[in-house]
Amino acid sequence: MRLSIEVHLDYAFPEPADVLLQVEAAALADQWLEEQALTIRSDHPIRAVTGEEGIGQRCWARGEHRLIADYRAVVRIARPAVDLAVLPATPVAQLPPSTIPYLMPSRYCESDRLEHWARRRFAGLSGGALALALAAWVEAHLDYGWTDGSGRTGALETFAQRRGVCRDYAHLLVALARAMEIPARCVAAYAPGVDPPDFHAVAELWLDGAWHLIDATGMARADELVRVAVGRDATDIAFMTIFGTATLLAQRVAVMRLPEQERDVDPAR
Amino acid sequence: MRLSIEVHLDYAFPEPADVLLQVEAAALADQWLEEQALTIRSDHPIRAVTGEEGIGQRCWARGEHRLIADYRAVVRIARPAVDLAVLPATPVAQLPPSTIPYLMPSRYCESDRLEHWARRRFAGLSGGALALALAAWVEAHLDYGWTDGSGRTGALETFAQRRGVCRDYAHLLVALARAMEIPARCVAAYAPGVDPPDFHAVAELWLDGAWHLIDATGMARADELVRVAVGRDATDIAFMTIFGTATLLAQRVAVMRLPEQERDVDPAR
Amino acid sequence: MRLSIEVHLDYAFPEPADVLLQVEAAALADQWLEEQALTIRSDHPIRAVTGEEGIGQRCWARGEHRLIADYRAVVRIARPAVDLAVLPATPVAQLPPSTIPYLMPSRYCESDRLEHWARRRFAGLSGGALALALAAWVEAHLDYGWTDGSGRTGALETFAQRRGVCRDYAHLLVALARAMEIPARCVAAYAPGVDPPDFHAVAELWLDGAWHLIDATGMARADELVRVAVGRDATDIAFMTIFGTATLLAQRVAVMRLPEQERDVDPAR
Amino acid sequence: MRLSIEVHLDYAFPEPADVLLQVEAAALADQWLEEQALTIRSDHPIRAVTGEEGIGQRCWARGEHRLIADYRAVVRIARPAVDLAVLPATPVAQLPPSTIPYLMPSRYCESDRLEHWARRRFAGLSGGALALALAAWVEAHLDYGWTDGSGRTGALETFAQRRGVCRDYAHLLVALARAMEIPARCVAAYAPGVDPPDFHAVAELWLDGAWHLIDATGMARADELVRVAVGRDATDIAFMTIFGTATLLAQRVAVMRLPEQERDVDPAR
C-alpha cells in the first residue's frame, strides 16, 4: 500500500504562542517514507524533537500573527495482516514495564469508571478474542457524528452518548481495553478512507508481545494506517498543541492511494 | 401502612455555619402525620420554611461547634396501588407548565447526555409501559454499592459504572425518564426495607396527570414510601445542606412498620 | 427606554424533535410589551406555556426537517434605578421559601466549590455592598471571549479560565452570590449594547426583599434589560431546548433603542 | 539525612483483583537504600517491574480475600541544596524530548484550563524565580484539609476550592508550571514531617537541565524527600492501583529521622 499525504494548516494568533506540531508520518519498520517535506512559514527557527515512545517526531514552532504549515509525503505501508482472534492473553504481571502506563486511566480514557461494566459484559473473553469483541462492540454501539462537546469528551461520556468521531471511538476502545487489563494507546494516523478527510485517530492494543492497530470506526484496515504519533489519549497525539490561543483559518488533509511503484523493472534489459 | 421514623443527627462545626435541614415527613393527602417532633439542640432560633413545590418543610438552624437534631414521627400511608403499565403517555406540548423544569437536565441528572442512547434502546415504548421499562432496566443493570466518588456522581457516571446507592438509582431513572420526555423528579423518602437503614431517595415520574413514586432499587413499594421532599436531584432533596463545612459525629435512621391501629373499635364492648 | 427586538432562527432537524422555544419578552410590571409577534413556520400546532416562576412564556414546537421562527417586539422598560450599595443583607433564615432554590448549587453554578474561597475573599461584606463587590470582581477578572468548551462550561471552570461570554459571567456571579448566601438566578434577556448582537444572559440577586438585575459583563445597565426568562442557570433559560439534535442554519438577534414615543400629544394644536 | 520508613497495608477484596503496588523507595544517585524489605502475604507469585522513567519499581500482586503488605527501609538522602531562584528558564523548543509529556495537561493537572489566568498573574517571571513564585502562591492560597471529593479532585477544582491535601497541592503546582511552559511531574515520596503521617506527594519541575523537587505544602524540604515514583499525576504515582475493588482494613505509614551513622570513625583512636 502506497499513500500520498497532503496537509495544509493555517492559523491566526491573537498573541504570540509556542506551538507543538505533530503531523509527520513516522518512519517505522512497517511504514517507510518515500518522500516527505514539512514547510512552515515562520520567522522563527523550527525545532524537531522525537515523539513519545521514540515514535515519529514533533516540531516546535512559534505562532506569531499567522502560522502556515504544509506537509507532503509518500508513504509505503508493509504491515502483515494478523489474525487477532488467535492471539493469547498476557497476564498483567507478565507485561513489559513499558506497557504499564497504557493500563492506567487517563484524562479522556477513564477506564476505571468503565471497569465494573466491562468485566461483566465481556466476562469469559481474553486476549485477541476480547480485543475484537471490544472493537466490535464500539463499532456497533456508536453512531458516527459530532456531539456538542466534541473535542472535550472522554470515553465515559461517549459510552453514554453513543455518538462520536474518530477520537471518541479510539478513546472508548482504549478505555475498555485498559479496563480489561489489555494495555492500549491512542494513535494519530493518516488513512485513505476517512470521510470527511481529516486527521484520524485509532487505537493500538498490546497483544501477545506486540502492538496491534485497530480502527474502531471501521474506516480503515490496519494495513492502510500511517502512524504519526502514539500516546495515552488525544492530549498526547494532537496534531497541534498550542500554548495560548489560536483561530483556525484553513485546514485540509488529503490522503490518497497511489499505484504500487514498479520496482524490479525488467532486469533483462 | 403505619411507619415509625426515628432520626438522630450529630455534627461538629469547625466554624459557625448556616444549615438547612430537611428531615420531616411531609403532610400530604396520601401520607398523614399521626405524631412528629423535631428537636434541635441549639442556642439559635430555628426557622421553618415550606419545601420545594410546597411539599414538606425545611428548617434553618445554625451549626456552632455542634448541632444535634432528633426527629421522631409516626406516619400513616394510604396510597392506592396504581398499575403504571396502562397509563398513557402525555405529549410534551400538553404537559402542565409546572412539570417542565423536570424535563430539563440537572447537575446530577444529565439527561441530555443519555438521550441518544435511551431513544434507541427504548424506541416504541411510551407512557407507563416506558416508565416501567426504564425502572426495570436500572434495577437490572446496576449493582447496589458505594463507589469511590459516591456523593458526587451523577447519572452519566452511574450509567457507565453500573453501580451505586439509592441516590444513584434515582438519578439514573430520573435522567432516563427526562431523556424520553417524561417529567421526573427526585424524592427524599423514608422506607422500612432500606438496608442498611438510611435516608432513602427514589424517583417520581409524571404520568397521566399525576406524579408516581418509583423506587428503582426495588427496596420499597410505592405504598411504603414517606415523602420528605421533592426536587430536581440530590441537591434539592438533601437532608442537610451546610453553608460551610461540618464533620459527621453520629447519624442514625430507623424506620419500622407498626401494627395498624385499631380504629373504630366499639368502645361499648 | 423603548427597545425594538428582532429575532430570526432557522434550524434543520435530521430527525423530528420536540423543541421548547423561549424567546418572548416577558410582560412584567417594569417592562411592557407595546407590540409582539412570534411566527413559527411549522405544520404542527404550537403550544405556549408559562415560564419558570410565572415569568415569561415558553412555547412548544416540533422540529421536522426545518424550523424557522421570527420574533418581533417593541418593549418599554420602566425600571427605577436602585442604589444597590445601601441595601441591607437578609439572614438566610429570613429568606422567603421561594428564594431557597436559588441558594443551591446547580449544574453550571457550582457554588459549593467556590464557597471556601469566596468567604475568605469577601469576608466582612454583606447585602448590596457584597453584591456589587462580587459583580465588580467578575467584571474585572474575566476577559470576554469564547473558550473551546463554550456552551458546556460552568462557573468553576470559568473561575479558573478567567474568560467567557455572557452566560459565563452570569454563571460565575450567580455562583459567587449563592456561595455567600445571597439567592441568585440567571436571566435570559435582550439588551441593546450587546456586541456582537445576540441573546444575552445576566444575573438577578435577591436583596432586601426584591430581585435586582446585574449584568456582570458591564454591557447593559439594569434599566436597559428586557427579561425573557429566569432560572437556576443556562439550562432553564435557554432560548431553545431541543429534545434531539439540530443544526444551526441561521440565527440573528437585533435589539435597538427606539425614540421615546410621543404620547398624549395633542394633534389638534 | 537518614530516614527509616515503615508501611503496613491491609486490604480486603470482595472479588479477586490484580494489584499494582508502588511503595518502595527508589534507588537513585541522591538517595541510597541502606536496607529495604517488602513482604507481601499472598499465595500468588509477586512480580516486580521498573517504574515510570526507569525510577523505582512497582510490583504486581494478586488480591484474593486479603492482601497484607509490609515495607521497611532505611534510606540515606544526599541531595545538595539548590538555589532555585537563580536558575534560568529553558525555552520550550530547547527542552529535551523526554520532558515534553510533562508539559501536557493530564487528568488531574488540567493546565490548559489554568493557562489564561497563570500567564497574566505571573507575567514577567521565568525559570527558577517563576517556579518559586508558583510554589509560594499555592502554599499561600490553599488551606490544608480534606474536601468532600478528595481522591477525585484535580487542579482545576483545587484552584477554585482553595483547599486540599498533599496530592492537591502537587497537582496544582504541576498544572501551573505546565501552563507556564515549565515541564512538571508528580512524585510519590516519603518525608518525615508529614502530619498526619501518610504517603506524600510533591512536585518536580524541570529547570536548567534537571528535575527539582518542590513540596508546595511546605511540609518537607527537598533534602528530606525520598522518591518512590514519578508520573504525570496521581494516577501514575498511586501507591496501589487496584484492577477491581477493595476495602481498606488498616494502613500505616511511619517515617522517622535517624541519627547520622558514624562513618569514618577512626578505629585506631
pLDDT tens for C200-209 read 999 999 999 9
Disruptive mutation site among D104, D152, D181, D245 for chain A (greatest number of A CBs within 10 Å): D104
Chains with 3 or more CB pairs under 8 A to chain A: B, C, D
D213 pLDDT higher than 80: yes
DSSP string, D147-204: -TTTTT--HHHHHHH-EE-HHHHHHHHHHHHHHTT--EEEEEEE-TT-SS---EEEEE
pLDDT band at D262 (very low <50, low <70, confident <90, very high): low
Which distant-in-sequence residues (6+ apart) come within 8 Å of C42 by Cβ? C61, C62, C64, C67
Average pLDDT of chain A to the nearest whole number = 94
pLDDT in tens, A111-126: 999 999 999 999 999 9
d(CA B31, CA B8): 22
Q: Is B149–D148 a contact, with Cβ atoms under 8 angstroms apart?
A: no
What does pTM read for this prediction? 0.93
C15 to chain A, minimum CA–CA distance in Å? 14
In single-letter form, the type of residue at position B163 comes to R
pLDDT band at D260 (very low <50, low <70, confident <90, very high): confident
Beta-bridge partners for C64: C66
Q: What is the average per-residue pLDDT within A87-99?
A: 95
Q: What is the average per-residue pLDDT within B230-234?
A: 98
Residues of A with CB under 8 A from a CB of D: 18, 20, 45, 47, 49-52, 58, 60, 62, 92-97, 100-101, 103-107, 110, 115-116, 119, 181, 231, 235-236, 241, 243-245
Q: Are D106 and A235 in contact (CB under 8 A)?
A: yes
C264 pLDDT higher than 70: no
Q: What angle do CA D245, D59, A98 make, to 5 degrees?
A: 100
d(CA C172, CA C155): 5
pLDDT, position C151: 79
pLDDT above 70 covers a percentage of chain B that reads: 96
- Residues written for chain C: 269
pLDDT, position B151: 79
D1 to chain A, minimum CA–CA distance in Å? 31
Q: Is B116–A162 a contact, with Cβ atoms under 8 angstroms apart?
A: yes
In 3D space, the residue among C58, C61, C62, C39 whose CA is nearest the CA of residue C49 turns out to be C58
Centre a 10 Å sphere on the Cβ of residue D68 and count the other Cβ atoms it contains.
14
d(CA B67, CA D265): 62
Contacts of D159 in chain C (CB under 8 A): 159-160
A7 pLDDT higher than 50: yes
B267 pLDDT higher than 60: no
Q: Is B152–D151 a contact, with Cβ atoms under 8 angstroms apart?
A: no
D149 pLDDT higher than 80: no
Structure-model confidence comparison of residues C266 and B220, the more confident one: B220
> Count of CB contacts below 8 A, A vs C?
10
pLDDT band at C261 (very low <50, low <70, confident <90, very high): low
Contacts of B103 in chain C (CB under 8 A): 20, 243
Nearest to B104 among C47, C93, C236 (CB): C236
Structure-model confidence comparison of residues B263 and A206, the more confident one: A206
Q: What is the average per-residue pLDDT within C1-22?
A: 95
Residue indicated by cell numbers 478512507: A193
Structure-model confidence comparison of residues A214 and D147, the more confident one: A214
pLDDT in tens, D52-96: 999 999 999 999 999 999 999 999 999 999 999 999 999 999 999
Taking the CA of residue C50 as centre, how many other CA atoms within 13 Å lie in the half-sphere pointing to its CB? 10
State whether residue D62 is helix, strand or coil.
strand
Residues of D with CB under 8 A from a CB of B: 148-149, 151-152
**Which residue in chain A is spatially nearest to B143 when comparing CA positions?**
A116
C150 pLDDT higher than 70: no
Average pLDDT of chain B to the nearest whole number = 94
Contacts of B109 in chain C (CB under 8 A): none
Disruptive mutation site among D147, D150, D241, D245 for chain B (greatest number of B CBs within 10 Å): D245
Nearest to C47 among B51, B93, B243 (CB): B93
Cα Rg for chain C, rounded, in angstroms? 19
Contacts of D151 in chain B (CB under 8 A): 148-149
Disruptive mutation site among C108, C245, C247 for chain A (greatest number of A CBs within 10 Å): C245
Q: What is the average per-residue pLDDT within D11-22?
A: 94
DSSP string, chain A: -EEEEEEEEEEEEEEEEEEEE--SPP-BTTEEEEEEEEEEE-SS--EEEE-GGG-SEEEEEEEEEEEEEEEEEEEEE------GGGPPP--GGGS-GGGGGGGS-BTTB-HHHHHHHHHHHTTT--HHHHHHHHHHHHHHHPEES--TTTTT--HHHHHHH-EE-HHHHHHHHHHHHHHTT--EEEEEEE-TT-SS---EEEEEEEETTEEEEE-TTSSS-GGG-EEEEEESSHHHH-SEEEES--EEEEEEEEEEEEPPP--S--TT-
Contacts of B20 in chain C (CB under 8 A): 92, 100
pLDDT, position A112: 94
Chains with 3 or more CB pairs under 8 A to chain B: A, C, D
pLDDT band at B150 (very low <50, low <70, confident <90, very high): low
**Which residue in chain C is spatially nearest to D112 when comparing CA positions?**
C161
State whether residue D79 is helix, strand or coil.
coil
D269 pLDDT higher than 50: no
A116 to chain B, minimum CA–CA distance in Å? 6
What ipTM does this complex have?
Answer: 0.93
pLDDT above 90 covers a percentage of chain B that reads: 88
Q: Is D235–A104 a contact, with Cβ atoms under 8 angstroms apart?
A: yes
d(CA C2, CA C190): 12
pLDDT above 70 covers a percentage of chain A that reads: 96
Q: What is the average per-residue pLDDT within C88-112?
A: 96
Structure-model confidence comparison of residues B267 and C253, the more confident one: C253
pLDDT, position D261: 67
B266 pLDDT higher than 90: no
d(CA D269, CA D267): 6
pLDDT in tens, B59-78: 999 999 999 999 999 999 99
Disruptive mutation site among A20, A22, A49 for chain D (greatest number of D CBs within 10 Å): A49
**Which residue in chain B is spatially nearest to D146 when comparing CA positions?**
B245
